[in-house]
Amino acid sequence: MSAAAGQNRVMRRLALAGPLAAALLAGLVACGDEPPVSTTTAPPTAPSAAAPTLRPITGTAPSHAFDVAQRKLLVQRDGRSIPVTVWYPQGPGPFPVVLFSHGLGTSPVDYRPLLMRWARAGFTIAAPTYPQTSSGSRQMNVLDVLNQPADASATLDQVLALNRKAGDPLRGRLATDRVAAAGHSAGGITTVGLFTVARDDRLRAGVVLAGSSLGMGLTYAGAPAPMLFVHGQRDTVVKYADGKAAFDAVPWPKAMLTLPAAGHGEALLSSEDGAFTAVADTTLDFLRWSLYGDAAAKRRMTQDAGSGSVARLDSRL
């Protein structure tokens, strides 16, 4: 299958996310769970005075590209089997860890162009395949997105434990105190959940790609962690206003990369898309800054976004 045909296949699957998101919304109401999150802008809430703090990081990210290796893991949680793909740099490390959550009807490999950019730059990528929302699911269940933050944390438990496992290829090569979460679409919702209703205190940063706070709420918790949101203004699957509302509610350092002409996923799936370079460069420099402490990378983010015709960055970092 050609790269173009593969991308078209993925985009057709992503198109299913529209009615699935509606089903998630209806399901939350029918089940009497937390009311759906409003898409109107919420005022920022200050972090609690008792919120824990994270040790500041200062340093420089690697300036060369690494060869990348791949391995597979299987995480078990409460009877749920979660296959995990790990891409990691071939070097002594230790390397920061980025947990990546895929969108509805997709799988980690569909995001390979973006994830390989991150891995080659010196990040270990841990990408779970969620059991009821991936392209390999026997029965798609959109409401299972609500279970995915716990799956993501269980994935981190197992991956980070490899840093201490005798004889493991990743022993001593993971920076277990420098961890971020990222995700696209339903995976972006999952990522928001890891900073709100299911806060994972190991996370130092978050990247939300075409996501929202649907089902996860706007009450960010725990230690302040910088977050980067990326969203296309022509997104018909997860509305731009919904992503903007989740961004506006973040009480910590944050930035939003807006793609005026982009839809839901094209700029993430193909290096041939005009906006891919802006997304890849901006997210990578955000991770270099937030997980390596590279101040020069933070300064490059505005330049990464370009002139504004393809992307524009609202940075409050």
Concatenated DSSP letters of the chain: --HHHHHHHHHHHHHTHHHHHHHHHHHHHHHT-SPPPPSSPPPP-PPPTT-------------SPPPEEEEEEEEEETTEEEEEEEEEESSS--EEEEEEE--TTB-GGGGHHHHHHHHHTT-EEEEE--TTTBTT-SS--GGGGGGHHHHHHHHHHHHHHGGG-TT-TTTT-EEEEEEEEEEETHHHHHHHHTTTTT--TTEEEEEEES---TTT-S---SS---EEEEEETT-SSS-HHHHHHHHHH--SSEEEEEETT--SSHHHH-TTSTTHHHHHHHHHHHHHHHHH--HHHHHHHHHHH-SSSS-EEEEE-
Give the pLDDT confidence score for residue 46 in this predicted structure. Answer: 38
User: pLDDT value at position 56?
Assistant: 81
In a domain, 186, yes or no: yes
The pLDDT, as a whole number, for residue 45 is: 38
- Contacts of residue 194, defined as CB under 8 A and 6 or more positions apart, other chains included, come to 149, 152, 153, 181, 200, 203, 206
Contacts of 309 (CB under 8 A, 6+ apart): 260
The structure tokens listed for 147 are 């279970």
Q: How far is CA 292 from CA 48, 56, 57, 101, 256, in A?
A: 26, 10, 6, 21, 20
Output the pLDDT for position 17.
54
pTM: 0.88
The whole-number pLDDT of residue 268 equals 77
Tally of domains in the chain? 1
Tokens representing residue 186 in the block: 């339903």
Q: Is residue 40 part of a domain?
A: no
Q: Which domain holds residue 146?
A: 3-33+66-316
Q: What is the pLDDT along the chain (317 residues), one digit of tens a residue?
A: 445 545 555 555 555 555 545 646 554 443 333 333 333 333 333 343 445 677 788 899 999 999 999 999 999 999 999 999 999 999 999 999 999 999 999 999 999 999 999 999 999 999 999 999 999 888 889 999 999 999 999 999 999 999 999 999 999 999 999 999 999 999 999 999 999 999 999 999 999 999 999 999 999 999 999 999 999 999 999 999 999 999 999 999 999 999 999 999 877 777 777 799 999 999 999 999 999 999 999 999 999 998 788 999 999 99
Distance from the first to the final alpha carbon of the chain = 41
Predicted local distance difference test score (pLDDT) of residue 69: 98
205 in a structural domain: yes
Tell me if 43 is assigned to some domain: no
CATH code for the domain in which residue 130 is found: 3.40.50.1820
* Residue 171 resides in a domain: yes
Amino acid letter for position 244: K
pLDDT (0 to 100) of residue 47 = 40
Dist. CA 265–CA 231, nearest whole Å: 9
61 in any annotated domain: no
Residue 60 lies in a domain: no
Contact in structure between 187 and 102 (CB atoms under 8 Å): yes
Question: Which two structure tokens, joined as six digits, stand for 35?
Answer: 């009311």
Q: Are 235 and 210 in contact (CB under 8 A)?
A: yes
223 in a structural domain: yes
Bridge-based pairing of strands 203-209 and 227-232 is parallel
